[in-house]
Structure 1
Amino acid sequence: MSADRRQGQWRPELRRSMVLRRDRTRGADILLMPERVVVLNETAARILRLCDGEHSVDDIVTELGQAFPGAPVNAEVPTFLRQVMEAGWLR
């Protein structure tokens, strides 16, 4: 991982082959991937919606910290982003 990513300046973005959308039948957000569909919980979907290449990790943490005061977003959001990047969801 580059120094920029460690410092929160990385601007994550979903890979072009993936689509995040609301599935009305399931009543959940889903991530459509080639030959795979992942049903996301509300928190994961909210984080991934901010992965637009415009928001840095710091921006995402700040926005979610304001929406959920007292939640451990400083630790959990970067960990989640690192995990989904390693899974190949982000670039």
Structure 2
Amino acid sequence: MNPTARPVLQRLYRFQWEPAQQAHVLLYPEGMVKLNQSAGEILKRCDGSRDVAAIVADLEAAFNATGLGPDVEAFLQMAEAQNWIVWNPA
């Protein structure tokens, strides 16, 4: 994972809060992926303008936590494998 690359959602997906599910979801033509709270908070920050370090720093500040880097990186690798995100070069 390039530390300066910036994750952004694939154009095929739409990220939104779904009141009926009480969760963030990824909508796509064939269906929907219901996200847990952690996944929703990470993907909310995948706007193409922040690199992984900035996303981790923002999450750690928002949730008064430390050491989230490995978990965020693991999630982003899984999200990339699922084709939910792509990487904008630095």
Query: Shorter-chain-normalised TM-score: which range?
Result: 0.7 to 0.9
Q: CA RMSD in A?
A: 1.3
> How far apart are 1:68 and its partner, in Å?
2.6
Q: Which amino acid aligns with 1:77?
A: V
When normalised by structure 1's length, the TM-score is 0.86
> How far apart are 1:72 and its partner, in Å?
3.2
In 1: Cα distance, 2:20 partner to 2:64 partner: 31
> How far apart are 1:36 and its partner, in Å?
2.2
In 2: Cα distance, 1:79 partner to 1:17 partner: 22
In 1: Cα distance, 2:39 partner to 2:20 partner: 19
Structure with more of its chain in strand, by fraction = 2
Count of aligned pairs between the two proteins: 86
Q: Which moved more, 1:18-27 or 1:66-75?
A: 66-75
Structure 1 unaligned spans of 5+: none
Secondary structure of the residue aligned to 1:13 is strand
Q: Which amino acid aligns with 2:77?
A: R
In 2: Cα distance, 1:70 partner to 1:90 partner: 25
The one of the two structures with greater contact order (alpha-carbon pairs below 8 A, sep at least 6) is 2
Q: Show the counterpart of 2:25.
A: 30
Q: Show the counterpart of 2:49.
A: 54
Instruction: Note the 1:12-91 alignment, pairs <5 A.
Output: 12-91=7-86
When normalised by structure 2's length, the TM-score is 0.87
> How far apart are 1:71 and its partner, in Å?
4.4
